[in-house]
Structure 1
Amino acid sequence: MARPTRVTRALSQNFLTDRKAAARLARLAVPDPHTGPLLLEVGAGKGALTQPLAPRCRRLLAYEIDERLVPGLDARFRATPQVQVVAGDFLAARPPRTPFSVAGNVPFSRTAAIVDWCLRAPTLTDATLLTQLEYARKRTGDYGSWTQLTVLSWPRYEWRLVGRVGRYSFRPVPRVDAGIIRIERRRIPLLAPAAEPGWRHLVELGFSGVGGSLHASLRRARPRRRVDAAFRHARLDRAVLVGEVSPERWLQLYEVLVHD
């Protein structure tokens, strides 16, 4: 009997052991297996998610940074021609030049870096990631508040919380449950590429925290009368906190403060 692989804390390893959860994640990552996407898997581990993903993909690049796990992955998927096990750090990979998807049980400590990699990849179509539940809820507005990253990327990407996985579905058992987050590139961006610098400046100004409210922060660079008009257009109270403003309301503020 093979000895169990010891967990490396530096890699933030929590192996998904729930087959039903893995199958559900695979269906969410590739809703239509007939499309046969090129898919990159983050942290293949022992192959729990690779297994249900493989038949749904035209080609699957399974990245695994822990060299101890690579021989087992190679052996498990040697007879699966569409799967290529890649020994190395996903974050060091160059994004494919053709459209591709990303999926994976993300090491909790590396979530921010992996999400950033995805958002920067020019040809990424979507990413389906298993993260800490709190992270997933914050990024998707599930708490009723929104983060700067979500608002900044909203014109190009839609963020959704599409599922939850209990902590006992992992080994070792983490302290918190996990959430499945889905990030999809919009086929038609909500803003033209030329508008992105103005959008970024507006959002970063709003999240600067100066003045104690979004209204006060925006007045640093815009006349009060214009900011008042923008808040009326977006149907926002002047005392609203920046995190309480949805991306859709941000777009309405942009229409008055920048676009006009």
Structure 2
Amino acid sequence: MEPRASTSAQRLAQEAAEAAELRSYQADPDVIALRVEKVRAQVDRLCWAGIILGLAFTMANVQSFAAGDAAAWSLPWLAAWLLDPTVSLVLLAILRAEQVTARYQVRTGRWVRRAKWFTLAATYVMNTWESYAAASLSGVVLHSVPPLLVFVAAEAVTDLRDKLTEAVNVAFAEAFSVTRGSDRPGRRTPRKPARRKLFRDYLVEAREAWTPDVVITPAWVRRATGCSRGLSPRVAEALAHEIAQGGERS
């Protein structure tokens, strides 16, 4: 009976060691980042599919709105097919650009958001105008759903990408710091989780590193604090504001 107990204990010890090694890899920031990237790709594909299908549905309604009473296959009737793609292509270009900027948490300007809202509003009006004019409630509902869905998806997908990027940053900041152990090749030993650096932490570091002969720029902030490219303009602006306020008081 004693050899059997010893064998069972060894088997349990081996399983415990394998489970600990598996957990160390699962908590690795690179593994977490890879999983988030896979989710990001799935979200992008699904949102793009919904947006493109919604815009395709609106194309016929916009063409009917633009053609009016023009005869089928006449020049005005054919030209009416160009209106919806013109608006949709601008919208898709903006969304594609936001797909990249959101990945690196870079905020776009006001005109970008205004252009996106204008294209979405134009699509909605052209889709529902005839239904409103005919006082058809069912037509308004039917032709409102696709453009409103595109509008909501266009706004949501940008926030989702931003939050997924933030999830990766949080994983890197809060996951266990790991090092290669010497007792077994590839074995990882967990350390204390690193505290996530906040905006005020970067601002304090930048304030301590600043001297009167330094020109405060995002590039300088990144060198002084190691913060990200998306956060450095905010830190630089806050530090410059603090120094300006201090100069005015003195």
Smaller-chain TM-score bracket: under 0.3
Give the TM-score of the pair, scaled to structure 1: 0.23
Give the TM-score of the pair, scaled to structure 2: 0.24
Bigger RCO (CA 8 Å, 6+ sep):
2
- Is the helix fraction higher in 1 or 2? 2
The structure that has the greater radius of gyration is: 2
- Is the strand fraction higher in 1 or 2? 1
